[in-house]
Chain A
Amino acid sequence: MPTTKALTGAAPWVQLETTQKDWDAADPRLLGDMLARMHVIRAFEEMALQLAGEGLVHGPAHSSIGQEGGAVGSMVALRADDQINGSHRGHHQFLAKSLGYLRKDGLDPVKPFGDDVRTLLFRALAEIMGLAPGFCNGRGGSMHLRWADAGVLGTNAIVGGGVPLAAGAAWAHKHSNTDAVAVTYFGDGAVNIGSVLETMNLASAWKLPLLFFIENNLYAVSTTVAEATGEPRLSGRGLGFGIPSWRVDGMDPLAVSLATQQALAVARKGGGPAVIEAEVYRYFHQNGSLPGSAFGYRTKEEEAHWRSRDPIERVGKAMVARGLLKPADIEALRQRSVDVMQSIAGDLTESAGEKKRVIRKELWPSTQFRDVGLRGDLSELDSLHEESPRTADVKIESRKFVDAIADLIGRRMELDPRIVVLGEDIHRLKGGTNGATRGLSARFPDRILGTPISENAFLGLGGGMAADGRFRPIVEFMYPDFLWVAADQVFNQVGKMRHMFGGDTAVPLVLRTKVAIGTGYGSQHSMDPAGIFATAPGWRIAAPSNPADYIGLMNAALACNDPVLMLEHVDLYQTSGEVRTDDMDYIIPPGKANLVREGSRATVLTYLSMVRRSMEAAEKLDADVDIVDLRWLDRASIDWDTIETSVRKTNNVLIVEQGSLGTSYGGWLADEIQRRLFDYLDAPVTRVTGGEASPSISKILERAAIAGTEEVEVALKEILR
């Protein structure tokens, strides 16, 4: 008969409740600040719903009415240099932090708000309506509100999607010798999603000053918490990760504030993350101005009960009871809040006949603005130099590809303390699974970060770090296929961030990954991700075929303010090439392909390991062809000058890549070529790719599933027939 022994979590999990004593002892300024912020937020949300009802808000307007106590209660405890990010229901989060930024000593409940507060409210409402004066120039709308100066990193429409990004900000705080923290707000629905749980684990492992603030409003749209999880006390999630956790009544803003202060005390001292779960209630449905009961998933009685616990009334009554304010002061605060919002709505709209108003035309963004700022302008590369000609006196040595990678990353880290490397096992095994970070862990122990196996969390953390700007991360995915594991962070977050938040947020992140086709790792480790990344605007893609190009491309990627996918290939790691020993700092900027063979009858466009394969095939056939090593693959960085010059000469195009047809790269390129160069083509654009399915583990099947020198030969023969 086995015996059992009760175990307890390593971290405390508590329910915090206030007493009358706490209320009596509360700082009047804190109470006034909370009351004023909540009134402003409520009036703001009422106006947002009113405009939505008039059809003036395109898309959803997720109101926070009823939930103000959680965000405001926690944010009165934050400093201006703390950062937050939030969820799709984020107006109140955005405003609570922004008001705290504008009024570092608290928003006064009896004084006029001031022009800066009015401007904040104007720009926030304009953003929600999709208008040019908005914080993100009208691109973000209700769900993507960002004001970096105020410490609002951005609200997020993907449930749980912002949480890994906040970890990046927290990492930056921790490693910048500040005691500032990051707080990430998300709802009960997000508690069960991988990003959140992965990030809790990572933040705990690395002791990041990150507060996970759960606004548990009991419903994920119409699904109740009890339906969605076996442990509806959501703060219990923290225990599994060793994170101290607080449960608190979100309708009691003072309780929220006190819990936050306790959590902050731990975090600011380097004690790591905390979880705070505030039970709140949205009075209305998921979006719009109807109550949830109208949709049948809850009762009017339940709603009436929660409304009777309204956080604004609670704070107001407490202040009146202590004689801090008179009822008339509160009425006046309410009236000022309503008035300022009506005035702002008047500025954003104009009358269009009786009882109807429309958005002022001049406030709409220009359609010309559609793609502006999707990527940076690369001016950050202006001060860097390209490789000088290899004259007789330059110093050159033969270097193995993988060693050139480690050499270069080491040099960049030495010269630029902002560079940090994250990835699985990169700190062990003599430089990760392939040796690309060999020796770096010993030299830079704090900046070579071996991660848990949670790509979504650590890529997102890198994204948050990059957007923060104090550090420039290199993230390694051990295999490209893991991009699907981390797809939300790779594409929805990192790829879209700059554009979505208005077009001027730099995201200097380099994602390194190695194409491992041919190593027998089978269906789930054998993709070339170039084709997928090429469909994701925002990402640049570099694909070096030799060590010297790696140096130039990686230097450009690390200097670039856009996210760059740096492709490597296992076939190349052990190959050698001549590299400069007198200059390791040159760049190969976007738009710089390399014509590696000259001919007249066809243009072969290729990259990475297939450059060598194509060269072999052409040499074998003595083929009269141009071979272009593309180097930069994405739509914005590809070298059209070189491609067009070649195709105008040869009139024939062969695009060569190794991987599967399904996710292949060349499709978009063929499409672009036929539109740009139709009148110069003598034949349809031809492509060499692998088979349709992802390669199998069986050696014979794997070879059959990918393209090699022989497949290039066949294609060349056909073209040159």
Chain B
Amino acid sequence: MIVMPILAAGMEDGTLTKWRVKPGDTVRVGDVIAEVETEKAMVEMEAVTAGVIEELLIPDGTAGVKVNTPIARMQGDAPSGSAPRPQPAAAAPSNDKVSGERAKDVPVSSIAVAVAASPAAGGGLRGRIFASPVARRMARAAKIDLHSVVGTGPGGRITKRDIESFSPGAAVADHGVSSSPTVVASGDAVQALSALGIAPGTYDLVPLDGMRKAIARRMTESFRDVPHFPLTIHVEVDDLLQLRTQVNASLEKQGVKVSVNDMLIKAVAVALMHVPAANASYTTGGLALHHHADISFAVALESGLITPIVRSADTKSLSTIARETKELAQRARDKRLTPDQFQGGTFSVSNLGMFGISSFASILNAPQGCIMSVGAVEQRVVVKDGKPAVASMMTLTLTCDHRVVDGAIGARFLVELRELIAAPATMLV
């Protein structure tokens, strides 16, 4: 039996904000199983015994849960008296099921990648990590959480190579900046280039690390397998920028700074609430219409990229979003993201505006139905009331999975978004 723990001196009760596990999950000692809010802090609650979660006794968001109150039952514990709920996997499929639990039911391969795990990749249920014995041993010694390691072995197994390439320091050292440039990764690769007239020795060969391999595989699969199309719209952002200035002025004392991207995340999330058909994933079992707008945002890393998630961004204030994106981006750079922080988003935002890129079309982050590419804010001449005028403009390109998001849906979403950006105060209310 799992009980509400005493997480701070004098704590009498706490709010069970969010479960991180669901019935059927296997937990090991030290796994984060829930988030608990106390008077002073949001605390990640860790499992103190290993086992399989049988039943969650207290739902998400329950306030005032007294310490030592049973909150979940583990397999092997006495039944709680309440009728056992059907296990998700065993329940008959229904639309509710597909839409409601879609995100969590994706067989997650415990693979930390820039893009969400595809259902086909990896093996097994959430919680079961496939790793070779020596990889486990090495990870233990190096205190590496296997959840955050990409498995590139057979069936997605984490192997020795994956652990070795996991360390950021080691990755940099290996990446060709060292003085011993040529690493012969494999005879095949060298031969392939030779056949094209590129002789060995005329280039540095950087070994593929796990993240690079995952990006290569997932992007290839997405680009090849998903019928996609771009929709482009130009939006005027003067009001948005003005609102940002005001908001930042009011938040200055709190040390929070809202970025354009944070505002776009919020705007996108609100727009998705208005056009739920765009907040969707294609599955063979049906179209999954997500209840929450969990917005993945791309963070560039030294050797790749990753997409942490702002959960339910539609419900969050700009300041909350700003805090979260800042922390998540930092964790991403530190390689400290936990799987739930980068797996299971419903919609992605990718922004290259800071580089001055005007417009681009991203590759879909499967199984998400859309990804929005954000260009630079530019002063452009626009026609207003039949006269030329100068405005701050931005080009947004929405890449859509045509299997789930048709052109009209994508268009309606972009129009909704443009209106929110044009009148940004509406998304604050």
Contact = CB atoms under 8 A, between A and B. Distances in A.
A671 interface: no
Question: Looking at A621, A682, A720, which has the most chain B CB atoms within 10 Å of its CB?
Answer: A682
Contacts of B186: 720
A680 B137 contact: yes
B167 interface: no
Given A679-B134, A679-B137, A681-B134, A651 B187 contact: no
Contacts of B159: 682-683
Max chain A CB contacts within 10 Å: which of B132, B134, B161, B186? B134
A681 B160 CA distance: 9
A683 B132 contact: yes
A622 interface: yes
Contacts of A678: 133
B187 A681 contact: no
A680 B187 contact: no
B217 to A, nearest CB: 14
B140 to A, nearest CB: 9
A670 to B, nearest CB: 14
B108 interface: no
A678 B137 CA distance: 10
Nearest to B131: A682
B187 A679 contact: no
A680 B159 CA distance: 11
Contacts of A679: 133-134, 136-137
A336 to B, nearest CB: 69
Contact of B133 (A621, A622, A681): A681
B187 A682 contact: no
Interface string B116-133: 000000000000000011
Contact of B132 (A621, A622, A682): A682
Interface residues of A, number: 10
B289 interface: no
A603 to B, nearest CB: 13
Contacts of B161: 682
A621 B160 CA distance: 22
A682 B136 CA distance: 9
The main secondary structure of chain B at its interface with chain A is helix
Contact of A621 (B134, B135, B187): B187
Nearest to A623: B187
A362 to B, nearest CB: 45
A679 B141 CA distance: 12
A682 B137 CA distance: 10
A645 B159 CA distance: 20
Nearest to A681: B133
Nearest to B137: A679
B153 interface: yes
B41 to A, nearest CB: 38
Contact of A680 (B133, B153, B154, B157): B133
Nearest to B154: A683
Contacts of B160: 651, 682
Nearest to B163: A682
A651 B186 CA distance: 19
Contacts of A621: 187
Interface string A665-679: 000000000000011
A682 B158 CA distance: 9
A622 B187 contact: yes
B187 A683 contact: no
A683 B135 CA distance: 10
A651 B153 CA distance: 14
A680 B132 CA distance: 9
Contacts of B154: 683
A678 B134 CA distance: 8
A327 B161 CA distance: 92
A680 B187 CA distance: 27
Interface in A634-693: 651, 678-683
B139 to A, nearest CB: 12
A515 to B, nearest CB: 32
Interface in A216-263: none
Contacts of A682: 132-135, 153, 159-161
Contacts of A720: 186
A424 B74 CA distance: 71
Contacts of B136: 679
Nearest to B159: A682
A718 to B, nearest CB: 9
Contacts of A681: 132-134
A621 B190 CA distance: 13
Interface in B137-188: 137, 153-154, 157, 159-161, 186-187
A681 B133 CA distance: 6
B170 to A, nearest CB: 16
Interface string B363-395: 000000000000000000000000000000000
A680 B137 CA distance: 8
A651 B160 CA distance: 8
A683 B151 CA distance: 13
A683 B137 contact: no
A288 to B, nearest CB: 52
Interface string A606-630: 0000000000000001100000000
A648 to B, nearest CB: 9
Interface string B271-288: 000000000000000000
Residue from A621, A651, A720 whose CB has the most chain B CB atoms within 10 Å: A651
A70 to B, nearest CB: 63
A678 B136 CA distance: 11
A678 B157 CA distance: 16
A679 B139 CA distance: 12
Interface in A580-612: none
Contacts of B134: 651, 679-682
A682 B133 CA distance: 6
Interface string A417-437: 000000000000000000000
Contacts of A683: 132, 153-154, 157, 159
A621 B157 CA distance: 25
Nearest to B153: A683
Please indicate which of the listed interface residues B132, B136, B137, B161 has the most CB atoms of chain A within 10 Å of its own CB: B132
Interface string A692-721: 000000000000000000000000000010
A720 B184 CA distance: 13
Nearest to A718: B154
B150 to A, nearest CB: 15
A622 B200 CA distance: 16
A678 B133 CA distance: 6
Contacts of B132: 651, 681-683
A687 B186 CA distance: 23
Contacts of A680: 133-134, 137
A679 B133 CA distance: 5
Nearest to A648: B134
A73 to B, nearest CB: 68
Interface string A482-505: 000000000000000000000000
Contacts of B157: 683
A651 B136 CA distance: 12
A621 B188 CA distance: 10
A209 B136 CA distance: 67
A374 B187 CA distance: 49
B196 to A, nearest CB: 21
Interface of A: 621-622, 651, 678-683, 720
29 contacts: A621-B187, A622-B187, A651-B132, A651-B134, A651-B160, A678-B133, A679-B133, A679-B134, A679-B136, A679-B137, A680-B133, A680-B134, A680-B137, A681-B132, A681-B133, A682-B132, A682-B133, A682-B134, A682-B135, A682-B153, A682-B159, A682-B160, A682-B161, A683-B132, A683-B153, A683-B154, A683-B157, A683-B159, A720-B186
Given A681-B134, A682-B133, A682-B135, 12 more contacts: A651-B160, A679-B134, A679-B136, A679-B137, A680-B134, A681-B132, A682-B132, A682-B160, A682-B161, A683-B132, A683-B154, A683-B159
Q: Which 7 A-B pairs have the closest CB atoms?
A: A682-B160, A682-B132, A651-B134, A682-B134, A679-B137, A679-B133, A682-B159
